Amino acid sequence: MSESRRNRRKIQNEKYKPKSDISNKDKVIALIAMILIFAVAAIAAVYYSLSKAGWTLF
């Protein structure tokens, strides 16, 4: 393959790459934060429903 053809293909392939400035580390931190928020909300909902049922929990 000639050099010009390689360069053309390289440029063409770069056009379709998603442009994301978010690093993998940031994505992992965001995922962990969402899981923690969901867990806290679920625990709060269970605590609230049990306290409304008349249970003394702490």
Locate tokens 């923690």: which residue?
Answer: 36
Instruction: Tell me the C-alpha distance between 47 and 36, whole Å.
Output: 16
- Show Cβ contacts of residue 50 under 8 Å, excluding neighbours closer than 6 positions: 57
pLDDT digits (tens, 9 = 90+) for 13-50: 777 777 678 888 999 999 999 999 999 999 999 999 98
Q: The whole model's pTM is what?
A: 0.59
In the chain, the amino acid numbered 40 is V
Contacts of 57 (CB under 8 A, 6+ apart): 47, 50, 51
